[in-house]
């Protein structure tokens, strides 16, 4: 299997439109990270990264990022803003981090979260306790030639996956990096560092 080791240059004629769900969480950080990744791939001029706040914006997007935050709050705001059905039926790729990973699951340990059911996995919220239990770790991710320095903040883990899901990263507590089709779910916050390899890999899978 080939190893994805870093920046990939693409044809400038290729472009993607990415919306960052702007209901809660690290919205500006995700926008910055995707723009940096697109620049490194030679796609910045032909692509667009912006906030996503209205359901009628979803149809024009190739990809959506669901940031971390409080999964019960984001779930409630998705429903309040009439975004649940458009997100659950979205045909593009979704890049989900932390609370976003919880929302992607088919099963979660909190009935207050209306998951989108887009990835065949069961997820445990706040698997490591309160925010003071946040930690950093170097994670080996399948397809990356060097470990990824990951920041976990009130992070979830996946405890079960279906056959369609590829587990690309794990720690003792469970699965922390997963892919299914065009979707990528991460228990940690790659947008808070300067390593854009996972953003680039996600974009590569779109084009």
Residue 179 belongs to a domain: yes
What is the 8-class DSSP label of residue 174?
E
For residue 55, the 8-state DSSP code is: G
pLDDT of residue 133: 62
Q: What was the pLDDT predicted at 10? A: 53
- Give the residue among 192, 98, 205, 202 at the shortest CA–CA distance from 153: 98
Measured between alpha carbons, how far is residue 4 from residues 31, 71, 143, 198, 205 in Å? 23, 31, 5, 10, 12
Whole-number pLDDT of residue 189: 95
CA 38 to chain centre: 16
Look up the domain containing 53 and give its range.
17-206
Q: What is the pLDDT along the chain (207 residues), one digit of tens a residue?
A: 333 445 555 545 678 999 999 998 889 999 999 999 999 999 999 999 999 999 999 999 999 999 988 999 999 999 999 999 999 999 999 999 999 999 999 999 999 999 999 999 999 997 776 655 678 999 999 999 999 999 999 899 999 999 999 999 999 999 999 999 999 999 999 999 999 999 999 999 998
Q: Domain total for the chain? A: 1
Residue 7 within any structural domain of the chain: no
Q: Is residue 77 part of a domain?
A: yes
Q: What is the CATH number of the domain that holds 192?
A: 3.40.50.880
**Domain presence at residue 107:** yes
Per the structure block, which two tokens stand in for 108?
């979660």
Q: How far is residue 67's CA from residue 40's CA, in Å, rounded to a whole number?
A: 22
Question: What is the CB neighbour count within 10 angstroms for residue 36?
Answer: 17
Q: Is residue 72 part of a domain?
A: yes
Q: pLDDT at position 6, please?
A: 53
Task: Please give the pLDDT value at position 13.
Answer: 62
Q: Is 95 domain-assigned?
A: yes
Residue 134 lies inside a defined structural domain of this protein: yes
Q: How far apart are CA 117 and CA 102, in angstroms?
A: 10
Does some domain include residue 34?
yes
- Which residues are known catalytic residues? 98, 189, 191
Give dist(CA 149, CA 165) in Å, integer: 23
């Amino acid at each position: 299997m080939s190893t994805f080791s870093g920046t990939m240059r693409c044809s400038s004629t290729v472009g993607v439109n990415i919306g960052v769900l702007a209901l809660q969480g690290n919205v500006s950080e995700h926008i910055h990270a995707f723009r940096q990744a697109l620049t490194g791939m030679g796609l910045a001029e032909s692509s667009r990264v912006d906030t996503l706040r209205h359901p009628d914006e979803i149809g024009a997007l190739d990809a959506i990022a669901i940031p971390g935050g409080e999964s019960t709050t984001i779930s409630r705001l998705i429903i309040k803003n009439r975004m649940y059905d458009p997100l659950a039926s979205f045909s593009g790729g979704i890049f989900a981090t932390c609370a976003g990973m919880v929302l992607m699951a088919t099963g979660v340990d909190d009935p207050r979260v209306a998951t989108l059911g887009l990835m065949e996995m069961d997820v445990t919220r706040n698997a490591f306790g309160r925010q003071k239990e946040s930690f950093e770790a170097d994670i080996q991710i399948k397809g990356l030639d060097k470990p990824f320095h990951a920041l976990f903040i009130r992070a979830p883990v996946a405890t079960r996956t279906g056959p369609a899901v590829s587990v690309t990263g794990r720690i003792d507590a469970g699965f922390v990096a997963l892919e299914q089709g065009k979707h990528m779910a991460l228990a940690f916050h790659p947008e808070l560092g300067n390593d854009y390899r996972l953003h680039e890999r996600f974009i590569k899978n779109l084009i």
